[in-house]
């Protein structure tokens, strides 16, 4: 049974992180937003030291994986991410300790691969990772991926060729640290999704280059890049999953997609932290203007501001409950594809509505750069876009509920 009380261990960690958010994130949030691509090394180095002290990153269990007893790994991560994003959603994305790339290794890698690639997060220097899926012609439709991986039988190396775009933290993974990226590619273009696999490409690998850095609407402290792969050779053992293509199954593809069952609730947690920050600041600003929220009255006796504020509160709480369920299932080894996508859809929708309404309610003050409301409005939309757009996750939910395959409901 799901326990909605936050475990004491998680509460203690969140108390520490709140101090970091208040003292190291909020004071510089505007500075790094207006100086895009600058790297907050003071924050990064502090969090790397703190993460190591708390046991390191990249050690949670993937959904559906067998284990001897329940844990709190994903619930802990969700609570930490919510609090860090309350501090600043963009700076959270530059926190070292394992992101989407390491989640892919955790979900689809062998024990040896997990040890080899994830242990580096506990080293002396901060390390970053990234997932490389999107291509110019392949966004949400992963079956359209054209990046290829061909096995060189003589050297027993995979040779990767292609282009990846909109890679979150790609520069930090390949240039600013000794990290790695996880490349989605096909080992058999004729096999469709059955031929899709993911490969770990480490920083410094010849043929893997960052070729463009994006300028963005929000989360501007986090780098987003394009990566070129030109005869990029990686060891045979860097493939995540089996190298065999079975024409009647998409087991390898599903193994890679299990990454998102683990991380979509964490993206939802990011959205919730940002939405909570917005509501708290909005309440403070309203109070300063002499506006109090009167709970317990019939809706028809409330002002429109009171009704809107209370509606935003219940949206936020309902989204957080969905994250709790999805992460609890992950920690208990239960398949959670439906719940992961539901939490992502709800939180991505809620954070956009809350930040937009907050800007509207405060008028010129909400639009002004004197306050962080307009920044949070810009930061919010990415939660509805990356790791599966809201539209794609709605399709996932519908397929899960109705029992359709991807080819039957598009």
List, for residues 179-199, the tens digit of each pLDDT value.
999 999 999 998 888 899 999
Region 40-66: mean pLDDT is 72
Predicted pLDDT at 68:
39
pLDDT at 110 over 50: yes
Predicted pLDDT at 136:
95
Tell me the percentage of the chain whose pLDDT exceeds 90: 77
pLDDT at 76 over 80: yes
Q: Whole-angstrom Cα distance, residue 51 to residue 98?
A: 10
Q: Whole-angstrom Cα distance, residue 131 to residue 183?
A: 6
- Could you tell me which residue, 85 or 72, shows the higher pLDDT? 85
Predicted pLDDT at 255:
63
Per DSSP, the residues of 344-357 read HHHHHHHHHHHHHH
Confidence class for position 66, pLDDT limits 50, 70, 90: very low
Q: Whole-angstrom Cα distance, residue 77 to residue 340?
A: 14
Residues in the chain: 410
Query: Is beta strand 239-240 parallel, antiparallel or unpaired with respect to 208-213?
Result: unpaired
pLDDT at 399 over 90: yes
Residues in Cβ contact with 253 at an 8 Å cutoff, skipping those fewer than 6 apart: 142, 193, 194, 196
Residues in Cβ contact with 41 at an 8 Å cutoff, skipping those fewer than 6 apart: none
Give Cα 146 to chain centroid, integer Å: 24
Structure tokens, 28: 């510089």
Q: Is 129 helix (H, G, I), strand (E, B) or coil?
A: strand
- Could you tell me which residue, 7 or 60, shows the higher pLDDT? 7
- Could you tell me which residue, 129 or 97, shows the higher pLDDT? 129
Region 361-375: mean pLDDT is 97
pLDDT at 9 over 60: yes
Computed from CA positions of residues 401, 404, 407, 410, in that sequence, does the dihedral angle turn out positive or negative? negative
pLDDT at 155 over 70: yes
List, for residues 248-303, the tens digit of each pLDDT value.
555 556 666 777 898 999 999 999 999 999 999 999 999 999 999 999 999 999 99
List, for residues 226-241, the tens digit of each pLDDT value.
999 999 999 999 999 8
Active-site position among 65, 306, 387, 408: 387
Predicted pLDDT at 256:
62
Region 17-30: mean pLDDT is 97
Region 79-90: mean pLDDT is 97
Q: How many CB atoms lie within 10 A of CB 311?
A: 14
Examine the residue annotation and report whether 387 is marked as an active-site residue of this protein: yes
Enumerate domains of the chain plus CATH numbers.
Answer: 8-122 (1.10.540.10), 129-240 (2.40.110.10), 251-402 (1.20.140.10)
Mean pLDDT, the chain, whole residue set = 91
């Amino acid at each position: 049974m799901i326990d909605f009380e936050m475990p004491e261990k998680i509460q203690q960690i969140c108390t520490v992180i709140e101090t970091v958010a208040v003292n190291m994130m909020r004071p510089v949030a505007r500075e790094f937003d207006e100086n895009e691509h600058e790297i907050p090394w003071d924050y990064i180095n502090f969090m790397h030291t703190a993460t190591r002290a708390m046991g390191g990153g990249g050690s949670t269990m993937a959904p559906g994986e067998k284990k001897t007893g329940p844990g709190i790994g994903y619930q802990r991560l969700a609570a930490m991410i919510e609090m860090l994003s309350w501090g600043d959603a963009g700076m959270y994305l530059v926190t070292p300790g394992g992101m989407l790339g390491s989640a892919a290794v955790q979900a689809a890698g062998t024990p040896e691969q997990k040890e080899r690639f994830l242990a580096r997060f506990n080293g002396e220097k901060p390390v970053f990772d990234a997932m490389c899926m999107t291509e110019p012609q392949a966004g949400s439709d992963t079956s359209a991926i054209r990046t290829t991986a061909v096995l060189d039988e003589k050297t027993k190396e995979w040779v990767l060729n292609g282009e990846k775009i909109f890679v979150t933290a790609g520069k930090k993974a390949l240039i600013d640290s000794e990290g790695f990226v996880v490349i989605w590619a096909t080992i058999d273009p004729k096999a469709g999704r059955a031929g899709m696999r993911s490969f770990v490409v480490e920083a410094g690998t010849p043929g893997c280059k960052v070729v463009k850095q994006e300028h963005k609407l929000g989360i501007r402290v986090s780098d987003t890049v394009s990566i070129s792969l030109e005869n990029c050779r990686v060891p045979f053992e860097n493939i995540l999953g089996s190298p065999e293509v079975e024409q009647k199954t998409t087991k390898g593809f599903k193994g890679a997609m299990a990454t998102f069952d683990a991380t979509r609730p964490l993206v939802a947690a990011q959205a919730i932290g940002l939405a909570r920050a917005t509501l708290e600041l909005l309440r403070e600003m309203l109070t300063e203007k002499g506006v109090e929220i009167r709970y317990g009255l019939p809706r028809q006796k409330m002002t429109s501001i009171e009704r809107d504020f209370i509606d935003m509160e219940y949206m936020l709480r309902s989204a957080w409950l969905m994250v709790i369920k999805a992460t609890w299932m992950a920690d208990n080894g239960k398949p959670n594809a439906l719940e992961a996508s539901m939490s992502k859809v709800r939180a991505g929708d809620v954070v956009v509505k809350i930040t937009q309404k907050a800007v509207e309610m405060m008028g010129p003050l909400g639009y002004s750069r004197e306050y962080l409301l307009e920044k949070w409005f810009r930061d919010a939309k990415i939660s509805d876009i990356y790791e599966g757009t809201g539209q794609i996750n709605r399709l996932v939910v519908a397929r899960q509920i109705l029992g359709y395959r991807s080819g039957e409901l598009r």
